[in-house]
Amino acid sequence: MKFIRPAVLNESLFGGKGRGYVSKIVLFNYPVPPGSELPREYTEVLDQLGAKDLQPLPLVNGVACSFPETRVQAISGFQHVFSVEEDLIVRLQPVVQEERLALMKSDDQIIPTGVARIGAPEVWSKWKGAGVKVAVLDTGIDMEHTDLAANYRGGINLISPGRPPQDDNGHGTHIAGTIGAVDDGKGIIGIAPEVELYAVKALNNRGEGTISSIVQALQWCMENGMHIVNMSIGTDTPSTAMAQAVRQAASHGIVLVAAAGNDGTRNSVDYPAAYPETIAVGAIGDGNDLAPFSSRGPEVTVVAPGMQVLSTGLQGTYRRLSGTSMATPHVTGTVAIMLQAVSGLNHSSVVKLVQGSAERLPNLASDQQGAGLVRVDRAVSKGSTPPRPKPAPWTWPQPRPEKFFEWLFGPWFGRPSGHGR
């Protein structure tokens, strides 16, 4: 289970909203304007029902709030209300810690095996992701880590508003390292070592956030011009609010990359990965076999290395973690390189290029691997090849009518023989 009933959760998560209250997301039929003011028709409805802790969610024409449990049934009967859902908990995809700390030599830089496996070193002479903005929607980023600081550009903390989005869990920092650890001759190197990293902290120190914090995170990404959002998070319950937020972000041109999930069974791809607008990423091991925990289903877009992935940890450390969470940033880094290297890409052509350049693995079914193993080297060369001009379709010669007989019988009647006499 990846969620708990919010009545219990919100008390533990955000300091308590009072007993007998439940957290809901109410979506309206008409827009909720940006800013803190809600239209009067909406506040009247919410006031009548005793709602409190209102948080507007303009991206989805909604509001997150808590209601007295006794009144909650009445909401959906009101005019203007499109839908009501629980503000469920969304978690980071659980990880398996293989080894607490990886010991690193101080004068050597390691290329993690997954980074090498997808062909990143082959493109670094030309492309390192410069100018591409990547949001890590997660527990934050350790912005002081020596392998990340140079690429860190800012972010937002939705758990403790006003405070920097410093990672207090370690999950987001590990993901940031795979995407964009710097090429400084020390530690590790990420797939796109000159990318611009942004921390969008929507999960607390236990790796828990809510649907409403994910919606707010995506809104921030749209307002701040992010090109790609890495979402190594999930829930097994669909949400109208999250689906709408994902659709809005994608139609805005943002590429969303999400972890398929760690349930390891058939038809178990989590949301948001299961939404058609996201690139859903499964995990393989060091060989070409599927990681046993990797969720399967028709929604899987591609796979990437996700076992014992070496990357950055808190307080300047390095550690190895396993999970589809760790596979996902391999695809995010790949998309960052693609956006720098291949001109004229839009949301749908990015997804097609990721699929079209993937390496199909011989022993895996398509619900396990999608289009195959993501390959940044192939994506870049396939994407940069100018399209071959199409041969003109062959047609019958069209003689003018007065020349028809000459054209038809010319070889036999009256046409100069053309042999130079």
Active site residues: 138, 171, 325
Closest CA to 200 of 134, 136, 133: 136
Q: Considering the rule CB under 5 A, would residue 177 count as an interface residue with Ca ion?
A: no
Closer residue to Ca ion, CB minimum distance, 147 or 359: 147
Q: How far is the CB of 11 from Ca ion (least distance, A)?
A: 42
Q: Considering the rule CB under 5 A, would residue 147 count as an interface residue with Ca ion?
A: yes
Task: Locate 20 and state its tokens.
Answer: 């007998």
How far does the chain reach from its first CA to its final CA, in angstroms?
93
Q: Considering the rule CB under 5 A, would residue 187 count as an interface residue with Ca ion?
A: yes
The residues, any chain, with a CB within 8 Å of residue 134's CB and separated by 6 or more, are 179, 180, 192, 195, 196, 197, 198, 226, 227, 228, 229, 230, 332, 336
Closer residue to Ca ion, CB minimum distance, 170 or 372: 170
Q: Rounded to an integer, what distance in angstroms lies between the CA atom of residue 57 and that of residue 22? A: 18
| Nearest 10 degrees: Cα torsion 157, 263, 97, 6 | 40
Stretch that binds Ca ion, among 180-188, 226-234, 239-247, 376-384 (CB under 5 A): 180-188
Q: How far is the CB of 181 from Ca ion (least distance, A)?
A: 5
Q: DSSP per residue over 203-221, as a string? A: S-TTSEEEHHHHHHHHHHH
The residues, any chain, with a CB within 8 Å of residue 349's CB and separated by 6 or more, are none
Q: Considering the rule CB under 5 A, would residue 194 count as an interface residue with Ca ion?
A: no
Applying the rule CB under 5 A, the residues between 208 and 237 that interact with Ca ion are none
Q: Considering the rule CB under 5 A, would residue 184 count as an interface residue with Ca ion?
A: yes
Dihedral sign from CA coordinates of 67, 72, 74, 76: positive
**Cβ-closest residue to Ca ion?**
187
Stretch that binds Ca ion, among 132-140, 177-185, 273-281, 326-334 (CB under 5 A): 177-185
Stretch that binds Ca ion, among 72-80, 159-167, 186-194, 257-265 (CB under 5 A): 186-194
Q: Considering the rule CB under 5 A, would residue 180 count as an interface residue with Ca ion?
A: no
Q: Considering the rule CB under 5 A, would residue 149 count as an interface residue with Ca ion?
A: no
Closer residue to Ca ion, CB minimum distance, 187 or 383: 187
Q: Rounded to an integer, what distance in angstroms lies between the CA atom of residue 3 and that of residue 135? A: 24
Can you give the binding site for Ca ion, defined by CB under 5 A? Answer: 147, 184, 187
